[in-house]
């Protein structure tokens, strides 16, 4: 038994040692440090909620080794920020794993670095996995809940598997302090967009709407089943809907043939689109059904 435990202990230490050079500490707000992951030679992934300034951000690579970085961009709704260092780092980049391969019960390790530059870790099993979920207008590819403790400073650090491959970025900033990990696939997708443009563009259609009840007589004359729709209260001039010919007073019933019960449901449908995608809007105008093809636009969020 002791031999098995010693072997497990050795493998855990080996996994931590494999990636420890890719973990940094980030001095992004006064009196508090978070952790970060070396993504590229001059780019660091970290937790957005832990970065409170845009420049002169201290990055601790190891005890006594500090460099300066600036904010390259952030996505607050997914709690992902990207820092750009003033010069390329000698640290190795983090090896990314396939977070979709995780199973409940898999062993996982959270790795962070303290403000003094020391590596620290916490371990446990994956206690919960779910599919795609939505945070505001950001799609997270997978919900990962590790059964471990994220001590102060662990946000922005790595969640790795037993082989030392990155499965996610740890954060306590999304679910009221509860530890979760943003999967590696989401990290890559959002980081690529931030690196390219400094922000994550949000799909939108340029309408202000409110829910309305559809009278039975109108439902019969228009040949629709749903008892609710979204009344167009404002059309953004020059926006996607204005360009498509949507008018004030139209009632939106479906997006790409999919009905919705609330504005929130419609926003979720739109969030699944990309800027430049086309979509069909099913409207009621003057008691008649009207179809409009819209080109989804993009709107950056702070």
Range 172-199 average pLDDT: 89
What CATH number corresponds to the domain at position 291? 2.30.42.10
Residue 8 and residue 154 share a domain: yes
Contact, 112 vs 84, CB < 8 A? no
Q: Which of 182, 200, 178, 201 is nearest to 45 (CA)?
A: 182
Residue 172 or 132, more confident: 172
Residue 249 and residue 147 share a domain: no
Contact, 299 vs 207, CB < 8 A? no
Does residue 300 carry a pLDDT above 60? no
Residue 189 and residue 217 share a domain: no
Position 295 scores a pLDDT of 94
How many angstroms separate the CA atoms of 296 and 280, rounded? 10
Neighbour count for residue 270 (Cβ, 10 Å): 18
Q: What backbone torsions phi and psi does residue 32 show, to the nearest 5 degrees?
A: -135, 140
What CATH number corresponds to the domain at position 129? 2.40.10.120
pLDDT band at 155 (very low <50, low <70, confident <90, very high): very high
From 181, 196, 211, give the residue that closes a domain: 196
Residue 121 and residue 59 share a domain: yes
How many angstroms separate the CA atoms of 94 and 15, rounded? 12
Residue 277 and residue 151 share a domain: no
Contact, 72 vs 63, CB < 8 A? no
Position 63 scores a pLDDT of 95
Residue 206 and residue 191 share a domain: no
How many angstroms separate the CA atoms of 240 and 12, rounded? 52
Residue 187 and residue 95 share a domain: yes
pLDDT tens-digit readout, 83-126: 999 889 999 999 999 999 999 999 999 999 999 999 999 999 99
Residue 236 and residue 112 share a domain: no
Position 65 scores a pLDDT of 94
pLDDT tens-digit readout, 217-243: 887 777 777 788 899 999 999 999 999
Residue 210 and residue 288 share a domain: yes
Residue 259 and residue 176 share a domain: no
Does residue 25 carry a pLDDT above 70? yes
Residue 225 and residue 90 share a domain: no
How many angstroms separate the CA atoms of 29 and 32, rounded? 6
Residue 208 and residue 84 share a domain: no
Does residue 135 carry a pLDDT above 80? no
Considering only 37-41, 128-132, 179-183, 200-204, which range has the smallest mean pLDDT?
200-204
Position 138 scores a pLDDT of 75
Instruction: State the residue range of the domain holding 162.
Output: 2-196
pLDDT tens-digit readout, 240-299: 999 999 999 999 999 998 888 788 788 888 877 888 899 999 998 988 889 999 999 887
Residues found in the chain: 302
Q: Which of 78, 229, 211, 57 is nearest to 140 (CA)?
A: 78
From 180, 196, 212, give the residue that closes a domain: 196
Number of domains present in the structure of the chain: 2
């Amino acid at each position: 038994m002791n031999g098995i435990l010693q072997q497990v202990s050795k493998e855990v230490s080996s996994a931590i040692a494999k990636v420890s050079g890719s973990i940094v500490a980030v001095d992004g707000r006064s009196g508090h440090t978070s952790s970060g992951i070396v993504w590229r030679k001059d780019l660091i992934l970290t937790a957005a909620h832990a970065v409170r300034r845009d420049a002169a951000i201290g990055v601790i690579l190891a005890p006594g080794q500090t460099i300066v970085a600036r904010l390259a961009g952030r996505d607050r709704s997914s709690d992902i920020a990207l820092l750009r260092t003033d010069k390329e780092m000698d640290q190795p980049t983090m090896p990314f794993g396939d977070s979709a391969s995780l199973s409940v019960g898999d062993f996982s390790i959270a790795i962070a670095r303290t403000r003094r530059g020391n590596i620290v870790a916490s371990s446990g099993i994956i206690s919960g996995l779910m599919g795609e979920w939505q945070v505001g207008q950001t799609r997270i590819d997978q919900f990962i809940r590790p059964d471990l403790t994220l001590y102060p400073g662990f946000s922005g650090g790595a969640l790795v598997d037993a082989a030392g491959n990155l499965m996610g970025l740890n954060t306590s900033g999304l679910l009221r302090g509860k530890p979760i990990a943003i999967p590696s696939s989401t990290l890559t997708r959002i980081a690529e967009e931030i690196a390219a443009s400094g922000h994550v563009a949000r799909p939108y259609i340029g309408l202000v709407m409110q829910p309305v009840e559809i009278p039975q007589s109108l439902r019969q004359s228009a040949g629709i089943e749903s008892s609710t729709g979204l009344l167009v209260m404002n059309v953004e001039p020059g926006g996607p809907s204005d360009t498509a010919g949507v008018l004030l007073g139209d009632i939106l019933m479906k997006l790409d043939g999919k009905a919705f019960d609330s504005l929130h449901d419609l926003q979720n449908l739109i969030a699944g689109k990309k800027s430049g995608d086309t979509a069909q809007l099913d409207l009621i105008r003057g008691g008649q059904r009207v179809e409009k093809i819209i080109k989804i636009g993009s709107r950056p969020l702070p």
